[in-house]
Structure 1
Amino acid sequence: MDSDIKNKVKSDLESFLKSKQYYHRLGRVWKRSYLLYGPSGTGKSSFVAALAKFLCYDIYDVDLSKVSDNSDLKLLLLQTSSRSVIVVEDLDKFLNEKSTGVSLSGVLNFMDGIFSCCGEERVMVFTMNSKDHIDHSILRPGRIDAQIYFPLCDFTAFKTLANNYLGLKDHKLFPQVEEIFQHGATMSPAEIGEIMIVNRSSPSRALKTVITALQTNGDATRSGAKGKMSKRLSESESSKERSGDESVDNSGVICRESVHTVREFRKLYGLLRMKSSGRKTPTGFDLGSSVEKMDKEG
């Protein structure tokens, strides 16, 4: 975790611990809420454990997918004690899949409703992989006090991992690792940490294994991007082939006016044939046959 962010979080928690009288003077419940969001393996769950240890609080892990309805969720909250961390992991997954009887309003009441006011000195932590498609009512200030993003590993985070797992503050392979990161390759801290644990007896081997893994990951990412581009191009060509009566210029822009004109003419031709079947015009020629001939001749 970035050291500046870590220090800010520690300062925020220390301030919270000393703020009982302040919250009471404001008439607010003495609690603090955090949202942790980012890809899997970036340290969100580890952060929760570290936070609880730092505060010396108990942890309650609430699995919303196993809660049958809003009433049961309220009862779970009432059973928690003060001086505790209440954790709801993968909240975005629950809200998107909605596999139980717990409603959005039930989750909101759990976060800051009347029942959440029945105890004090609590820290509530919610984790998500992404907050892009989350209802804004979940994220509003007062309901979520602080939001912390957990990114994939960069070179700065890698050096911290190397120091923690391998006792390395510097190494001749560090410049090569930095170059790979600069070219866009990345992995989660959990993946890199596991490689370092397995190869902890040989720091050089650990770094070489990380380099290989990063290169493989970078190649796969680039191949995936090329594959998506090829698929889009292929779909574009297929759509052109399916549009047999659509005029397409060399730039790939469909001339919608030409398409409209051809279709309107054919529609008109069909109506004329229906109305004029077998009848002659005053001048003696068959309107249906004449139009049919024109259509054949283009």
Structure 2
Amino acid sequence: MDPDRKQEIVDDLDMFRDGKDYYASVGKAWKRGYLLFGPPRTGKSTMIAAMANYLDYDIYDLELTAVKNNTELRRLFIETTGKSIIVIEDIDCSIDLTGKRNKNNKKKDKNKKMPWEEEDDKVTLSGLLNFIDGLWSARGGARIITIFTTNHKDKLDPPALIHIEMSYCCFQALKVLAKNYLGVADHELFGEVRRLLEEVNMTPADVAKNLMPLPRSKNRDVDACLAKLVKALNDAKDAALAEPLLALGE
């Protein structure tokens, strides 16, 4: 991702990790929530692994479709430890997103159950978030990060989470990939690659794949790898231009 954006995320993680006194002073649970969103293959799962490695936290991957009821959900959450990241991937595909957290409704039915207390098997986004809020608030000094991922942010009514967009590869990200994969900080083909990245959507994963050495190549041929990337970008550009013509033909 863009190095500046990456540094912002690292700084936020540092502030959270070292924020025990701050959270205690404001009377809030020591927790943080992130929503990673963007197209497939843009690095959402890789970002989660990088966060866990950076903080040295455990990861709990929660598959909500396998949770039978709210009692089981509560048990799973309680079994997690402090200094952990709870991951719920593809949140829009896992639960009912129609539940709303209505904070403005002043008339409350005392007999009405809260979303996480409902008896049916359906888990709603509102119930899940309220459940998490209440549980972590009761756990005192635990350091907890909850991460949701989605390919379709427009389907969500996002709560107070830190939004991190995982998008297509930009030129600054390409330079980082080129340094990691090829060991180069500059190249005569960078100008053409930059122009094409402004015209074509290509995920970081696909860019990295094209920067890998050619089959049967013993050495990292920088020219060949970058030329392969240029060809892939041009092919993607031609395919994108051809789509409207194909639609007209139909």
TM-score, shorter chain, exceeding 0.5:
yes
Q: Give the count of matched residue pairs.
A: 222
Return the letter of the residue paired with 2:187.
H
Looking at structure 1, the residues matched to 57 and 196 of structure 2 have their Cα atoms a distance apart, in angstroms, of: 41
Correspondence 1:152 to 2:168: yes
1:101 to 122, 125, 129: 122
Looking at structure 2, the residues matched to 97 and 11 of structure 1 have their Cα atoms a distance apart, in angstroms, of: 31
Aligned twin of 1:3: 3
For 1:89-168, what aligned pairs fall within 5 Å after superposition?
89-95=89-95, 101-112=122-133, 114-119=134-139, 120-134=142-156, 136=157, 139-141=158-160, 144=161, 146-168=162-184
Find the residue that maps to 2:32 and give its secondary structure: strand
Looking at structure 2, the residues matched to 96 and 195 of structure 1 have their Cα atoms a distance apart, in angstroms, of: 38
| 1:226-260 Cα distance to aligned partner (Å, 9 max, x none) | 334x27xx8xxxxxxxxxxxxxxxxxxxxxxxxxx
Looking at structure 1, the residues matched to 39 and 169 of structure 2 have their Cα atoms a distance apart, in angstroms, of: 10
Find the residue that maps to 1:102 and give its secondary structure: coil
Return the letter of the residue paired with 1:153.
C
Residues 70 and 106, structure 1, Cα contact 8 Å, conserved in 2:
no
Q: Which has the higher contact order (CA 8 A, sep 6+)?
A: 2
Aligned twin of 1:70: 70
Residues 37 and 148, structure 1, Cα contact 8 Å, conserved in 2:
yes
Residues 78 and 118, structure 1, Cα contact 8 Å, conserved in 2:
no
Return the letter of the residue paired with 2:202.
M
Aligned twin of 1:87: 87
Correspondence 1:185 to 2:200: yes
Return the letter of the residue paired with 1:130.
H
Return the letter of the residue paired with 2:223.
S
State the 1:118 CA deviation.
4.0
Q: TM-score, normalising length from structure 1?
A: 0.69
| 1:255-284 Cα distance to aligned partner (Å, 9 max, x none) | xxxxxxxxxxxxxxxxxxxxxxxxxxxxxx
Looking at structure 2, the residues matched to 51 and 104 of structure 1 have their Cα atoms a distance apart, in angstroms, of: 24
Return the letter of the residue paired with 2:135.
F
User: CA distance change for structure 1 residues 110 and 73 in 2, over 3 Å: closer, same or farther?
Assistant: same
| 1:132-166 Cα distance to aligned partner (Å, 9 max, x none) | 121x2xx222xx1x111111012222122111111
State the 1:222 CA deviation.
1.7
Residues 96 and 125, structure 2, Cα contact 8 Å, conserved in 1:
no
Using the aligned pairs only, state the percent identity: 36
Residues 88 and 149, structure 2, Cα contact 8 Å, conserved in 1:
yes
Aligned twin of 1:196: 211
Q: Using the TM superposition, name which of 173-182 and 209-218 deviates more.
A: 173-182
Looking at structure 1, the residues matched to 45 and 131 of structure 2 have their Cα atoms a distance apart, in angstroms, of: 20
Q: TM-score, normalising length from structure 2?
A: 0.81
State the 1:8 CA deviation.
1.3
Looking at structure 2, the residues matched to 102 and 148 of structure 1 have their Cα atoms a distance apart, in angstroms, of: 25
Looking at structure 2, the residues matched to 169 and 147 of structure 1 have their Cα atoms a distance apart, in angstroms, of: 30
Aligned twin of 2:224: 205
Return the letter of the residue paired with 1:176.
E
Looking at structure 2, the residues matched to 172 and 81 of structure 1 have their Cα atoms a distance apart, in angstroms, of: 50
Correspondence 1:171 to 2:192: no
Residues 70 and 103, structure 1, Cα contact 8 Å, conserved in 2:
no
User: CA distance change for structure 1 residues 28 and 94 in 2, over 3 Å: closer, same or farther?
Assistant: same
State the 1:97 CA deviation.
9.2
User: CA distance change for structure 1 residues 226 and 97 in 2, over 3 Å: closer, same or farther?
Assistant: farther
| 1:58-108 Cα distance to aligned partner (Å, 9 max, x none) | 11111112222222222111110001111111112224799x732334322
Looking at structure 1, the residues matched to 190 and 155 of structure 2 have their Cα atoms a distance apart, in angstroms, of: 38
Looking at structure 1, the residues matched to 97 and 130 of structure 2 have their Cα atoms a distance apart, in angstroms, of: 19
State the 1:192 CA deviation.
1.3
User: CA distance change for structure 1 residues 201 and 62 in 2, over 3 Å: closer, same or farther?
Assistant: same
Correspondence 1:214 to 2:222: no
State the 1:30 CA deviation.
0.5
For 1:184-263, what aligned pairs fall within 5 Å after superposition?
184-199=199-214, 201-228=220-247, 230=248
Looking at structure 1, the residues matched to 159 and 67 of structure 2 have their Cα atoms a distance apart, in angstroms, of: 24
State the 1:198 CA deviation.
4.0
Correspondence 1:35 to 2:54: no
